[in-house]
Amino acid sequence: MLFEALAVLTPPVLLYKWYTSASRQATGGNHDEQTHRVDVEPIVSDAFGMSILSQIRGAIWAHSIIQKGYEQHKNGMFKIPFFGQWPTIVSGEYIKELAHAPESHLSFQAMLNEFMQLELLVGTGISHDAIYLSVIRALTRRLSAFHPEIADETRAALATQFEKHGKKEKDGWISVKAFKAFSEITTQLNARAFIGLPLCRDQKWMTSIQKGGADMSWRAVLLRMFPEHRRSDANEYMKRYSHVLEDCIALLNPVLEQRRAMREDERPNDVLTLIMSQVTEEEPDPRTIVGTYLFLERVAQGTTHTTFVHVLYFLVAYPEYTEVLREEIRQVHGDGPISFASLGELRKLDSYLREAIRCSGFSSATMNRFAVQEYTFSNGVKIPKGKLVAAVANPIHMDPDIYEDAKEFKPWRFLERTGAEGLGKDSKKYALVTPAEDFLAWGLGKHACPGRWYAAMVVKHLVVYILLQYDIKLPDSAKGKRPANLHVMGSSLPNLSAKVLFKRREGLDWE
């Protein structure tokens, strides 16, 4: 229905405005744009008349275009076509410079507001006050309290979704389309941490939050197509055609009223409670609370889901390492339950996951920033107000000058770097959650992914539980090859259709 709204609004005008905007950039346009282009080479043609084709290429082949740009400008800068703009992509020494650029000039929050249209879709509480950061930090401080909830929900989620998505094969194996099944599994795990029982198992609620998150994303994409002064009107018009966010508010309102009636120390230990504690108005707008919830759920889901499926495909493609991981788990856990503290002692698993993320090509670019004021890099290149800038990521992860045998999956690569079986002086430096100039999956600097500790906890627990409870393998038709990734708009998604076989292990009932 959103597309119907878009069609009613300004059908050919949108394309015309976008085309003329891109053409102005190609032909010079104004002094700021010319300054922006000094010494920064476009990787594909930005000539007049070629701009639309370049934008299409940028959307479809951003992964290979950024790789080409890195090879040509390994320690410099280049531009690519993306979303109607020509953002500057930096590499080499300029990555650290970007990471430490002041928020007053190159802003992460402004980039988030622009791409997610947070002010219109959620409100100023999240777009200006960034309450989501306070919520994530509070969640990180309480991870040990959240882990038992994740642990308890893992068994229920796997049982439910394997029953729903699994196809029985011979000898007790079940075949599962991994991407789809684990999308629902990780959604359920995140919902347990975010809103708790019973809603995390309520199908109506689960469907609503999945639709709500997708609806927010699509609205943001469509709103960005409009001139800034028309976005508010466009958003109001879209509401007539899509009521998903409003449906989520209606479902959550009774829960909010119930919790407001409780003393703060009586409220459940979940993310919704943390959000409520950060919204200080006497009568807060439910849209702010629900919108913040959906935004955080969408981010958490995207990270935990794609990371886990990438890891799962490495586990089944390289079965020779499975028993090594299981042995480490046995040594750490014995016959006891999986605890939050013990997850941190799994040094080999930590190295395995970091290497899997490195090899998965998670994203071609990272550290996206929006210039709220003109910024000048140390080489004299100016980024005018209103322009985008980012850093290369995957090309660095695949650079043989940085990583020996960079294209090979070596699960103990980072363990060996730390020394002393992962307990050496560099153990934290090469830990899964540690950002670095040569490991940019989490970004870098003060705006490195604040939820990475939560994501690491969920993925680690899920991997440990599955390795203990199940034998896993690829179907014979895969011929032992890891399912190929899907490259979309600079991101690398795990294969959407690949199947993985699971079989319950005999005589085991570890949690």
DSSP characters over 427-449: TTTTSTT--BTTB-TT-SGGGS-
- Distance, in Å, from the CA atom of 49 to the CA atom of 40, rounded to the nearest integer, reads 20
Write out the binding residues.
449
Section 51-74 average pLDDT? 81
- pLDDT top residue among 335 and 137: 137
Say if strands 486-488 and 388-392 run parallel, antiparallel, or are unpaired.
Answer: unpaired
Burial class for 377, CB neighbours closer than 10 Å (0-12, 13-18, 19+): buried
**Residue 42 confidence (pLDDT):** 64
Q: Would you say 117 and 219 are in contact if contact means Cβ atoms under 8 Å apart? A: yes
Residues 6+ apart with CB under 8 A from 280: none
What ranges in 78-230 are assigned the alpha helix state H? Answer: 93-99, 108-116, 118-121, 124-127, 131-141, 143-165, 178-194, 203-223
Section 74-86 average pLDDT? 84
Please identify which residue in the block is written with the tokens 């229905």.
1
pTM for the structure as a whole: 0.88
- pLDDT top residue among 319 and 278: 319
Please identify which residue in the block is written with the tokens 């934290």.
428
pLDDT over 70 percentage in the chain: 85
Indicate the DSSP class of residue 408: S
Q: Would you say 450 and 109 are in contact if contact means Cβ atoms under 8 Å apart? A: no
For residue 179, which of 455, 500, 505 has the smallest C-alpha distance? 500
For residue 52, which of 18, 80, 76, 29 has the smallest C-alpha distance? 18
pLDDT at 5 > cutoff 60: no
**Residue 129 confidence (pLDDT):** 61
Q: Would you say 292 and 275 are in contact if contact means Cβ atoms under 8 Å apart? A: yes
- Distance, in Å, from the CA atom of 157 to the CA atom of 150, rounded to the nearest integer, reads 10
327-335 LR contacts (CB < 8 Å, sep 24+): 329/464, 329/467, 329/468, 333/464, 333/510, 335/510
What's the helix, strand, coil split of the chain in %, to 5? 60, 10, 30
**Residue 155 confidence (pLDDT):** 94
Range among 258-262, 336-340, 375-379 with highest mean pLDDT value: 375-379
CA angle 293, 341, 191 (to 5 degrees): 20
pLDDT over 90 percentage in the chain: 57
CA quadruple 369, 106, 113, 357: dihedral positive or negative? positive
**Residue 333 confidence (pLDDT):** 85
What class has domain 2-504? mainly alpha
Q: Would you say 171 and 473 are in contact if contact means Cβ atoms under 8 Å apart? A: no
**Residue 200 confidence (pLDDT):** 93
For residue 233, which of 3, 386, 20, 5 has the smallest C-alpha distance? 5
Write out the binding residues for heme.
449
Distance set, CA 141 to CA 136, 145, 146 (Å): 9, 9, 10
Section 431-447 average pLDDT? 95
What are the beta bridge partners of residue 106?
371
Q: Comparing 118-132, 138-152, 287-301, which segment has the lowest mean pLDDT?
A: 118-132
Q: How many CB atoms lie within 10 A of CB 459?
A: 25
What phi and psi values does residue 191 have, to the nearest 5 degrees? -65, -35
**Residue 86 confidence (pLDDT):** 84
The radius of gyration of the chain from alpha carbons, rounded to an integer in Å, stands at: 23
The domain spans of the chain are 2-504
Residues in the chain: 511
What are the beta bridge partners of residue 392?
365
Q: How far does CA 45 lie from the centroid of its chain? A: 30
- Distance, in Å, from the CA atom of 34 to the CA atom of 40, rounded to the nearest integer, reads 10
Mean pLDDT of the chain: 85
What ranges in 224-285 are assigned the alpha helix state H? Answer: 231-239, 244-260, 271-278
- Distance, in Å, from the CA atom of 7 to the CA atom of 14, rounded to the nearest integer, reads 10
Tokens read off for 384: 């005018």
* pLDDT tens, position by position, 8-59: 344 333 433 444 344 444 334 444 444 444 456 666 554 444 556 766 776 7
Q: Would you say 145 and 331 are in contact if contact means Cβ atoms under 8 Å apart? A: no
- Distance, in Å, from the CA atom of 11 to the CA atom of 226, rounded to the nearest integer, reads 11
Section 167-182 average pLDDT? 95
What are the beta bridge partners of residue 388?
370
* pLDDT tens, position by position, 201-240: 999 888 888 888 888 888 888 888 788 888 888 888 887 7
Q: Comparing 7-16, 191-200, 378-387, 466-475, which segment has the lowest mean pLDDT?
A: 7-16
Q: What is the dihedral of CA 251, 254, 255, 261, to 10 degrees?
A: 170
